[in-house]
A and B are shown apart, each in its own frame.
Chain A
Amino acid sequence: MLPAIEVKQVCKHFGNLHALTDIDLEIHAGEFFALLGPNGAGKTTLISIIAGLSLANSGSVNVMGHNVRTQYQQARRNLGVVPQELVFDPFFTVREVLLIQSGYYGIKENTRWVDEIIERLDLTEKANANMRALSGGMKRRVLVAQALVHKPPVIILDEPTAGVDVELRQTLWDFIKQLNQDGHTIVLTTHYLEEAETLCHRVAMLKEGKIVALDSTQNLIGKMIAGKSVRLRLLPDTLPPALQTLQISHHGGMAELRIENYAQVEFILSSLRSADVQILEMRLQQPDLEDVFVSIMRDNGNQSR
């Protein structure tokens, strides 16, 4: 199937600074994809190149099969971008902004769809308010709405939840999940890794302009052997010798034991039983995307040093 976004061998530098080096990335149609990385890793630069806001020094980018340079009009019709910065045009009201944006995409009559997005993003009360009069969260919603006026098959959101309150974050994600279920490809960057973990099928991690991990969210977490552990509060608080080799730490009255897989839990339980140690409290620690992120960023740092 035609990939939604195809990035081939893309390099970008600003003077001596290599913002992106040899980026290869294919995002499939219908995916919910996260682009993660610390500040300055090149996420926004990559998004800008896909959107045509920035021009790569080499390599090529296609959106729904259209090259972003040579077939820029088709490529941009297929793409909706929510920029990271809270930008707005102070001359217009929310509804004017959305109808004007529709016109840029060649859509003459778009009132019904514009009204629908206004309603779904909870902007109805502010529809006729000037952009200047809107709070930050409201402006963010308008940015999302502006990216959707032309019903693009591919939607990129650059940190859509930065500085947004919990309630709006929920509304926003529900809406975006719905768009994904309706068949839109979603690409997002975020610093909230638990959001990426629950929403995204696949994740790419960028560091210093390079992709350092690219896999499904499950696989990435699954590969984190080091992250699995069992924390136990015991009576008496002493581990039987057979378990002492597994111990990673002991603090707050709880012993933490490393496990390779969940079958080992049975071994721990039986060892405790035969040593006549009572379990007062037990917690299974599973690695999450944040552990993966931290470990990958750290490993990669060691390699490059």
Chain B
Amino acid sequence: MTGFFTLLYKELLRFWKVGFQTILAPMVSTLLYLLIFLHVLEAHVEVYPNVAYTIFLIPGLVMMAVIQNAFANASSSMIQSKISGNIVFILLSPLSYRAIFFAYILASIVRGLLVGLGVYLVTLLFFDIPLQLPFWALLFVILGSAILGALGLIAGIWADKFDQLAAFQNFIIMPLSFLSGVFYTIHSLPIAWQYLSHLNPFFYMIDGFRYGFFGVSDISPYISLLIVAICLLAISILAIRMLKTGYKLRY
């Protein structure tokens, strides 16, 4: 276990040492989103009964910050290590591939949660946000960040250049998170788009997370939980398999 804890500690220290860039900057940009949407949309929409748009929006934005930072953590750590070559120190060590997987994922969860918590705490200063079922919210935020951490690990291992990683982030992660209902409830969409939204696994993360706040959601939180759990399992198996076979790591 010492090996696993050391790698976890190293991964935590890695982003902590550059906390301005890895925690504060994403907090600021998320709060800017909030400020802008607040200004533009406040008067226009009420998504759930008695839930103002701003209040509806905040959990979505928190989750989006979590998602993006969990992904960024594992993926940038892996690709930087690969490109600078210092990944050999991990590859030469007797660390098991499972230990490597869990250390990277857990560090991603921690970073995602720190950014998310930061955003949430700041918004609490200005808004009265209910948190009716905190266990559900916590469950979905952890599962969501774990999925994105695993996706980040996969992307970091797969990409040979920063360019490819950016493509993965901009053409897969960003659209999936923006179109997952962060800014709206999917019931406001035309039927075809509603159907498409159901194919987006990120939708279930955000819907389930929001359920923790308001006690209402677009679909049953149990279904969301099942889908999110299956996604996590499938993506984890893929990531562990890549580490086990040494895909793009051990030539």
Contacts and interface: CB of A to CB of B under 8 A. Distances in A.
Interface stretch (A79-87, A221-229, A255-263): A79-87
A146 interface: yes
A175 interface: no
Contact of A107 (B2, B86, B91): B2
Given A55-B250, A55-B251, A105-B3, A87 B84 contact: yes
Given A87-B85, A101-B89, A106-B2, A73 B94 contact: yes
Contacts of A52: 91-92, 250
Interface string B122-145: 000000000000000000000000
Contacts of A79: 92
Interface stretch (B7-15, B53-61, B185-193, B209-217): B7-15
A104 B94 contact: yes
Given A52-B250, A55-B251, A101 B93 contact: yes
B44 interface: no
Contacts of A14: 251
B91 A53 contact: yes
A105 B94 contact: yes
A89 B91 contact: no
Contacts of B6: 100, 102-104
Contacts of B7: 103-104
A113 interface: no
Interface string A55-93: 100000000000000001110110101010101111110
B94 A106 contact: yes
Q: What band does the interface of chain B fall in when counting residues whose beta carbon is under 8 Å from A?
A: 20 to 34
Nearest to A97: B89
Given A91-B13, A91-B17, A104 B90 contact: yes
A104 B84 contact: no
A305 interface: no
Contact of B93 (A76, A88, A90): A76
Contacts, number: 79
Contacts of B92: 51-53, 76, 79, 81
B249 to A, nearest CB: 9
Contacts of A54: 250-251
A116 to B, nearest CB: 20
B16 to A, nearest CB: 10
A290 to B, nearest CB: 31
Nearest to B95: A104
B88 interface: yes
Contacts of A96: 13
Nearest to B97: A72
Interface of B: 2-3, 5-7, 9-10, 13-14, 17-18, 81, 84-86, 88-96, 246, 250-251
9 contacts: A51-B92, A54-B251, A83-B88, A87-B88, A87-B89, A92-B10, A104-B7, A104-B90, A106-B2
Given A73-B96, A104-B90, 17 more contacts: A53-B91, A53-B250, A73-B94, A74-B94, A76-B93, A77-B94, A81-B88, A83-B88, A87-B84, A88-B84, A89-B81, A92-B10, A92-B13, A96-B13, A100-B10, A106-B94, A146-B89
Interface of A: 14, 48, 51-55, 72-74, 76-77, 79, 81, 83, 85, 87-92, 96, 100-108, 146
